[in-house]
Structure 1
Amino acid sequence: MALGALESAVMRVCWEARAPMTVREVLGRLNADRDQPLAYTTVMTVMSRLAEKGMLNRAPQGRGYAYTAAVADEAAVAVREVLRTHGDAAVTHFAAEASLDPQLRDRLRRLLEQSP
């Protein structure tokens, strides 16, 4: 589930946004720096697929949807991919590596204590 180039570009726009964005708004930002403009339907399809993958949240707005990022950044996407692909083995290896580094172990402990 690694992101393709256009998926990454859409996610960057959504991460930078301060509010939910429609397909048309994302399209406008993407096309602002392009010589060859993207089609509305192309961006709509990419955003719909990102929502299906759990990368974007969408809520009805008018006749379409408004989208917000469901993951914090590219690191969160990478972690999801590693966990999806390798599951418990990835967690086991991470814990083993963290146990070797006292600073990382302490930071991880603090993060776990802070989480809801």
Structure 2
Amino acid sequence: MALGALENDVMQACWNEKRPMSVRQVLDVLNERRPQPLAYTTVMTVMTRLAEKGMLDRARHGRGYEYTPAVPDEAALAVREVLRTHGEKAVAHFAAEASLDPELRERLRRLLEDSP
């Protein structure tokens, strides 16, 4: 499942901060770099949808939620998508390629363990 531009921006903000973030905190990060500020409700909707897609985890915090990435980085997100669409064939291909590089094999093992 490819991310849209705003979804990608939200995920990048969450990955870069490396801490649970509220909608307001993500909005502030995103609006630092934008000439036209985003609306709170726009970011809230995107983050809710990312949580529904399994990209963000959310936990109650006060009257709202705090969000953390459900996947550690873009590479893990890509592996998750390939596994979802291609299953066992993808794992066999990754394993064959990873046999060339022990560091790549270890990274693949961690990504596969983290995938749902």
Aligned-partner Cα distance in 2 for 1:6–1:13: 11
Corresponding residue SS for 1:60: strand
- In the other structure, the counterpart of 2:53 is 53
Other-structure match for 1:4: 4
> Is 2:87 the counterpart of 1:67?
no
Larger radius of gyration: 1
**Count of aligned positions:** 110
SS at match of 1:2: coil
Please name the residue that 1:43 is paired with: 43
Using structure 1 for the length normalisation, give the TM-score: 0.84
- Residue 110 and residue 84 in structure 1: after superposition, are their counterparts in 2 closer, same or farther (change >3 A)? closer
What is the alpha-carbon distance in structure 2 between the residues aligned to residue 11 and residue 109 of structure 1?
24
Structure 1 residues 79-88 or 89-98, which shifts more?
Answer: 89-98
Tell me whether 1:30 sits opposite 2:30 in the alignment: yes
Tell me, which stretches of 5 or more residues in structure 2 are unaligned?
none
Aligned partners of 2:84 and 2:41: how far apart in 1? 29
Give the SS at the match of 2:80: helix
| C-alpha distance 110-21 of structure 1, shift in aligned 2 (>3 A) | closer
Match of 1:66, SS state, is: strand
- Between the aligned partners of 1:16 and 1:23, the Cα distance in structure 2 is 15
Determine what percentage of the aligned residue pairs are the same residue: 69
2:37 and 2:108 mapped to 1: Cα distance? 43
Partner-residue secondary structure (3-state), 1:3: coil
What TM-score results when the alignment is normalised by the length of structure 2? 0.84
Paired with 2:47 and 2:107, the residues of 1 have a C-alpha distance of 35
Query: What is the Cα deviation at residue 109 of structure 1?
Result: 6.1
Within 2, Cα distance between the matches of 1:65 and 1:81?
26
Aligned Cα root-mean-square deviation (Å): 2.1
